[in-house]
Amino acid sequence: MDIKAVVFDAYGTLYDIQSVASVTEEAFPGHGNAITQIWRMKQLEYTWLRSLMERYEDFSVVTHESLIYALNVLGLTYDTDVLARIMDKYAHLDLYNDARDALLALKGRKLAILSNGSRAMLDALVRNSGLDRILDATISVDAVKIFKPSPRTYALVETTIGVKPNEVMFVSSNPFDVCGARAFGFNVAWIERVTPDAVALEFANRDLVSPLSMFKAVRTQMDELGLQPTCRIRTLAELPAAVAQIDRR
């Protein structure tokens, strides 16, 4: 099998979504962790709800709405300046430490991002992190106005970079995205950054579960949908070897 393109999810895969905690904690001391986890969970939920209701708004709107939900549910007071400062972090998310080297090691194949992010959000993020000099394409679901895991979003890869599904290695840390990509027909590498044993250990002998522990339990573990990744890796540094192994099959 010849892998001609490696396509990455952005949020949580190349970019550390948890890095927003630095700005949420600065804005609301003592509440940063709770805001960060509620925000992300509602952000994903809103993409699925808007897709099902056929009431698409781009990811910047969804992200703003879910941030407001998180602040309201925690009873926090805010103004437009506070919202803008927190939202700006999405243009400056931390790149995972091993992301750049992994991408460079894969040069020679087409490299792209396929993300729920809006075109403006992704362009800013990719430019600010310097990945615009490495990637061949940055693909936003804006083109079809529905969010992952709709098959229409994954079809954008072939129409944009001209590579058939069975020649693509799709890379994501998000289980719902892994399942969607596999159902579509991609080879998929799942970045399993949090193991079930690690989650179980966090829950063991605890009377009070932290927001981050709850997030790990419901959003980092593989979903039971009858779909499994082609391969599992723990870090992006393991990806080039995993792709080479698929090539040899």
For residue 43, CA distances in Å to 65, 132, 160, 179 come to 8, 25, 26, 19
Q: Are residues 27 and 102 in the same domain?
A: no
Q: Are residues 69 and 97 in the same domain?
A: no
Which of 43, 70, 91 terminates a domain? The answer is: 91
Q: Are residues 116 and 130 in the same domain?
A: yes
Confidence of residue 81 (pLDDT cuts 50, 70, 90): very high
For the stretch 100-159, pLDDT in tens is: 999 999 999 999 999 999 999 999 999 999 999 999 999 999 999 999 999 999 999 999
Q: Lowest-pLDDT range, 8-22, 190-204, 224-238?
A: 190-204
Contact 47, 151 (CB under 8 A): no
Spatial neighbors of 82 by CB under 8 A, at least 6 apart, are: 27
Q: Lowest-pLDDT range, 1-10, 50-59, 156-165?
A: 1-10
Which of 38, 71, 91 terminates a domain? The answer is: 91
For the stretch 86-117, pLDDT in tens is: 999 999 999 999 999 999 999 999 999 999 99
pTM: 0.94
**Out of 2, 9, 79, 98, which one is annotated catalytic?**
9
Confidence of residue 216 (pLDDT cuts 50, 70, 90): confident
Q: Are residues 53 and 145 in the same domain?
A: no
Q: Are residues 103 and 24 in the same domain?
A: no
CATH of the domain at 61: 1.10.150.240
Spatial neighbors of 45 by CB under 8 A, at least 6 apart, are: 66
Give the model's pLDDT for residue 174: 96
The pair of three-digit structure tokens given for residue 182, joined into one six-digit string:
């596999």
Q: Are residues 37 and 104 in the same domain?
A: no
Using the predicted structure, report yes or no on whether residue 195 has a pLDDT greater than 90: no
DSSP class of 54: T
CATH of the domain at 241: 3.40.50.1000
Q: Are residues 137 and 52 in the same domain?
A: no
Q: Are residues 207 and 98 in the same domain?
A: yes
Q: Is 9 a catalytic residue?
A: yes
Spatial neighbors of 217 by CB under 8 A, at least 6 apart, are: 199, 203
Q: Are residues 137 and 113 in the same domain?
A: yes
| Helices 80-88, 59-73: crossing angle, 10 deg rounding | 120
Which of 43, 76, 91 terminates a domain? The answer is: 91
Contact 147, 47 (CB under 8 A): yes
Number of structural domains found in the chain: 2
Using the predicted structure, report yes or no on whether residue 1 has a pLDDT greater than 70: no
Write down the number of H helices and E strands in the chain: 12, 8
Q: Are residues 127 and 34 in the same domain?
A: no
Q: Are residues 99 and 218 in the same domain?
A: yes
> What's the domain range around 169?
5-16+92-247
The C-alpha atoms of residue 188 and residue 246 are separated, in whole angstroms, by 10
Distance spanning both ends of the chain, measured CA to CA: 6
Q: Are residues 114 and 83 in the same domain?
A: no
